[in-house]
Chains A and B, each alone.
Chain A
Amino acid sequence: MERTLYLIAYDISNDKRLNRVRNFLKGYSTGGQKSVYECFLTDGELRYVKRKLERLIREDEDRVHIFTMDGRSRTHTLGIAVQPKDPEYFYIG
């Protein structure tokens, strides 16, 4: 299944909504930082994530950005950051 890398960043003004959005995105993210998530999504998953986020936030107070990353480009990383990747299996240790 073809997956594209998306960067999802948010700015939520209310703690309750913030927790809900954060918890939801943790189910899709394979990397990222505190309020920026790296998500490898299929088209269907992207549609679902968008719909769900629309329901979770308040349109007049919060903001969410979904950036589509170009699959051909390489991310520049500094410090302990690692390249975003969508592995066939997860091997840790």
Chain B
Amino acid sequence: MERTLYLNENKELKVIRDGPSVWVKEEGKAGSRVPARLIGRVVIIGNVKIESGVITLFTDRNIPVTFINYRGESVAVALPYNDKLPRHYEDQKIFLKNEQNILRFKNWLESRRKEIQLNVVKRLSKRILFKFTRFGFREKDYRSIINQFRKCSLEQWQVITVIISNLLREMIIGSLIRADLDPHMGVLHRRHNFSLALDLCYILEAEIDVQSLQFLKQKIENERLIKENKNWYVSKEGMRDIIHRFENRKNQLTNITEQLIDDIFEMMRELRK
């Protein structure tokens, strides 16, 4: 049921609300209907002509709407206005209660992050995995491995990773809202908006790296990154490719996120004792 609706910039595209669904008009094409009940997330890329009713249709149903551009910048997230706190808000406060709890949460973040990094290294090179598991590894060891595989400029790399991390963040925010957790109640990124979502994103950062590497591998054949006014942008085809890759991996990513949320509940129970 939890499908994502991606609306990509197109001059002829017009999105209007039609009862419990959205109606997408495109010149020279038959209109298409997307019922809101099938949608779990909405991502709007670039400048899309859209009725404000479309945004309220989704936000009324607790579906986050994310706005991104072709550089992954200027991100905005529309969420429903809710004067009530999430059900587990008070329980979540326990993570910030004292230094010991903060440290425990941070240790959990680091250990989970390392686990995901090892999984990614396993996909990149069995030899390096062997080295890492035998002798251990630090953050900078992992980064140097990714830099070795990167084979593009840092700016190009950032454009891709920012877009993928936005897609991932959107997915995480949706999961946190469904679990009735406050997405703003994180530890590592505390005092930031969506800090808990950012914390979980920090764990899954290695997944962003591997998807970016896969995208860059493809890029050699087709130009999917374009340079305009000294800035790098992802082309329309490139955006479609990134989304397709992300969607192919979404089920696994959702499962990992659900496990992380289970861990959070487990920790809350333990710390309450």
Q: Which A positions have Cβ atoms within 8 angstroms of B?
A: 1, 22-23, 26-32, 79-82, 87-93
B114 to chain A, nearest CB (A): 31
Complexed CA–CA distance, A93 and B34 (Å):
14
A83 to chain B, nearest CB (A): 11
Q: Within 8 Å CB of B9, what residues of A?
A: 93
**Any chain A CB within 8 A of the CB of B7?**
yes
A-B pairs with beta carbons under 8 Å apart, 20 shown: A26-B18, A27-B20, A28-B37, A29-B21, A30-B32, A30-B34, A31-B33, A32-B33, A82-B29, A82-B32, A89-B3, A89-B5, A89-B243, A90-B4, A90-B5, A91-B6, A91-B240, A92-B8, A92-B26, A93-B8
**Residue of A with least CB distance to B10:** A93
Q: Beta-carbon contacts of B1-36 to A below 8 Å, as 1s and 0s?
A: 101111111100101001111001010111011111
A92–B30 touching, CB < 8 Å: no
Known interface pairs A26-B18, A26-B19; A92-B24 also in contact (CB < 8 Å): yes
Complexed CA–CA distance, A63 and B26 (Å):
32
A93–B19 touching, CB < 8 Å: no
Chain A-chain B contacts (Cβ-Cβ < 8 Å), number:
77
Q: Beta-carbon contacts of B72-94 to A below 8 Å, as 1s and 0s?
A: 00000000000000000000000
Known interface pairs A90-B6, A91-B6, A92-B7; A29-B1 also in contact (CB < 8 Å): no
**Any chain A CB within 8 A of the CB of B48?**
yes
Complexed CA–CA distance, A30 and B20 (Å):
12
Complexed CA–CA distance, A91 and B42 (Å):
10
Size of B's binding interface in residues, CB under 8 A = 35
Q: Within 8 Å CB of B26, what residues of A?
A: 92
Which of A29, A31, A90 gathers the greatest number of chain B CB atoms within 10 Å? A90
**Any chain A CB within 8 A of the CB of B45?**
yes
Q: Within 8 Å CB of A30, what residues of B?
A: 32-35, 38
Q: Within 8 Å CB of A29, what residues of B?
A: 21, 33, 35
Complexed CA–CA distance, A16 and B37 (Å):
23
A92–B6 touching, CB < 8 Å: yes
A76 to chain B, nearest CB (A): 15
**Any chain A CB within 8 A of the CB of B268?**
no
Q: Within 8 Å CB of B35, what residues of A?
A: 26-30
B246 to chain A, nearest CB (A): 9
User: Of B29, B39, B45, B48, which contacts A90 at CB under 8 A?
Assistant: B39
B21–A93 touching, CB < 8 Å: no
Complexed CA–CA distance, A27 and B33 (Å):
9
Complexed CA–CA distance, A22 and B18 (Å):
10
Q: Within 8 Å CB of A88, what residues of B?
A: 3, 247
A92–B33 touching, CB < 8 Å: no
Q: Within 8 Å CB of B6, what residues of A?
A: 89-93
Complexed CA–CA distance, A82 and B3 (Å):
20
B253 to chain A, nearest CB (A): 13
B30–A81 touching, CB < 8 Å: yes
Complexed CA–CA distance, A27 and B30 (Å):
19
Q: Within 8 Å CB of B30, what residues of A?
A: 79-82
